[in-house]
Structure 1
Amino acid sequence: MPHTGTTSLDTERLYSEVSHFYARQMQALDDGRTEDWAETFTEDGVFVLHGGHDRAVGRQALAASSSKARAALAEQGIRHRHWLGMLTVDPRPDGSVAARCYALVVATALGGTPVVHRSTVCEDLLVREGTGPWLVKHRQVSRDDLT
């Protein structure tokens, strides 16, 4: 890993901030607060799924897409929970952060047993606007079952 001029303490603080950001972001999504979830992206944020087959650009499109997916799951009586782990954070000279993690999507049918629905890799470019919170500028999610 190249040396970026950050200290171990800086990296630990950054890791903690990004980990906390993801916890709040995924809980908003899983709780159905799609507008709140979309607000964790930049105004022109990009979300690319499945090798580019699904793509949303901008908060309005992100909120609409996640709301539609949530409604489809509710109709089927299924709840999704996202579990992120194996997080790495790499600060860049411009102040942005390249973050990468494994993301499991656990699906539970009402009255059923939780099952791993998908195993993915999530790669984000995180930025701050001024002194505000971290925001996703670009997200690429790759499913393990697709090439």
Structure 2
Amino acid sequence: MTELLEAAQALRPVDTGLYQEISHFYARHFQTVDSGDVAGWAGGFTTDGVFDSNVLPAPVVGRDTIEAATHRSEAARRTTGVQRRHVQTTLVAEHAGEEIRTRAYVTVLETLPASPTTIYCATLCEDVLVRGADGGLLIRSRMILRDDLR
């Protein structure tokens, strides 16, 4: 318990400028996947990035593997005509050494042609962000916890 408390106390909120940069990163990131640009979305991960979820049997490791798995998922979804929108709220961003740890709620909306929009799922998204070689933000690891599967 003491280690968890010390780890939590070691985190400190990012400043306003960095918070805004992170917010813009996520806006582009989620709009990219919602538009069907899977390669662009996967490009937001480090080459050794990890994508994990309580939906998956095991973590997906590596940008190329994340991209391939997402292509398969998106191809299946597109055959149904469903449009998805990721809506991120309540973003918390904190320094953890050289990394930035973020937590946010992400609600995924679904709309079928000529149908009302519904909530597909509500999630907690926890990321570890790092700076890439070009100075931009990249996701080193992501954990998605769907509320309906907890």
2:119 aligned residue = 116
* 2:32 is equivalent to residue 28 of structure 1: yes
1:100 aligned residue = 103
1:78 aligned residue = 82
Q: Say whether the 8 Å CA contact 2:51–2:142 is kept in structure 1.
A: yes
Structure 1 stretches (4+) deviating beyond 3 angstroms?
Answer: 1-6
TM-score by length of 1: 0.89
CA offsets 1:13-72 (integer angstroms, 9 cap, x no match): 111011100001001111111111111000000000116525311111111111111111
In 2, Cα distance between the equivalents of 1:15 and 1:139?
18
CA offsets 1:59-100 (integer angstroms, 9 cap, x no match): 11111111111111111111111000100000122x210000
Alignment of 1:1-147 (within 5 A): 2=9, 11-50=15-54, 52-93=56-97, 95-147=98-150
Alpha-carbon distance change, 54 to 111 in structure 1, aligned in 2, over 3 angstroms: farther
Alpha-carbon distance change, 32 to 118 in structure 1, aligned in 2, over 3 angstroms: same
In 2, Cα distance between the equivalents of 1:5 and 1:77?
43
- Superposed CA RMSD: 1.8
Alpha-carbon distance change, 59 to 109 in structure 1, aligned in 2, over 3 angstroms: same
Give 1:2 deviation, angstroms.
3.5
Query: For this pair of structures, how many residues does the alignment match?
Result: 143
Secondary structure of residue in 2 paired with 1:44: strand
Secondary structure of residue in 2 paired with 1:107: strand
In 1, Cα distance between the equivalents of 2:35 and 2:58?
22
In 2, Cα distance between the equivalents of 1:134 and 1:5?
18
Q: Say whether the 8 Å CA contact 2:85–2:110 is kept in structure 1.
A: yes
In 2, Cα distance between the equivalents of 1:52 and 1:28?
22
Please tell me the residue identity of whatever aligns with 2:142.
R
